[in-house]
Amino acid sequence: MASLLHVDSAANTSDESITRRLTASFAAAWRDRHGPAAHRYRDLAAAPVPPLTTAFAELGRRVERHGLLPLDRVPELIESPAERREWELTEPLISEMRSADVVLIGAPMYNFSIPAALKAWIDRMTFPGAFGGPGSAQRPLHDTKVVVIMARGGAYGPGTPREGWDFQTPYLRTYFTEHGVREENLFFVAAELTVADFIPQLAALRPAAAGSLAAAEAEVTALAGRLIDPVPVHPPSPVPGG
């Protein structure tokens, strides 16, 4: 059964959050097709991932010195209760990520980058050896599809004056491709000018904001259909007499 890992990171947990609304739309379509058991949800604002500690770093270094052991052997190297706690916080995040067929991430732009809650999840999940390493033949995310849904108060798309101020998309693209996600399996959807609706000085931009949101909604719907019910690949028919 195909599985979806759905991660929201917006600090605003109300219906005002554009990323939460868009990820919820995708997830609803997924549950309709695959059932609720195929949907794993993690809200990084409601249940923040703790920041890294010295014990996490010490355990990680010890694993690296042993040549990046398989994750099921990490407990053999634990030397203190603090390290055990760090591993107990970390291993479930890695397992969730590795077992998902599709990872859906709601990532609003905060100060030109991603929310601290999302960065904390990424930092903890990226334990040495979690997703392979340099020269490793093991690439657990090779077939994983990642959908990143973004919301931005301003306009940062191609051709806009602030295009170079977007440190969100390049960072997430680099992170996931570096850890084994293929470029063709990585999708970004952005709704822009999302603050125009309630800031009086931006009233003139409201039609553009509405158009951006409508385009993002349509793209999420199209992606949901494409990833939930992918076009089957059939082997070529045998040649008669061959």
Binding residues: 109-112
Sheet hosting strand 186-191, strand order edge to edge = 39-43, 4-8, 102-108, 145-151, 186-191
**CA dist., res. 151 & res. 108, Å (int):** 5
Complete DSSP assignment for 91-114: HHHHHHHHH-SEEEEEEE-BTTB-
Rg (CA), the chain: 20
- Residue 208: other Cβ atoms inside 10 A: 14
From the list 183, 49, 230, 204, the residue with the least C-alpha distance to 123 is: 49
Count CA atoms closer than 13 A to 213's CA, side-chain side. Answer: 21
Could you list the residues known to form a binding site for FMN, using ranges. Answer: 109-112
CA distances in angstroms from 70 to 66, 74, 86, 141, 143, listed in the order given: 10, 7, 17, 15, 20
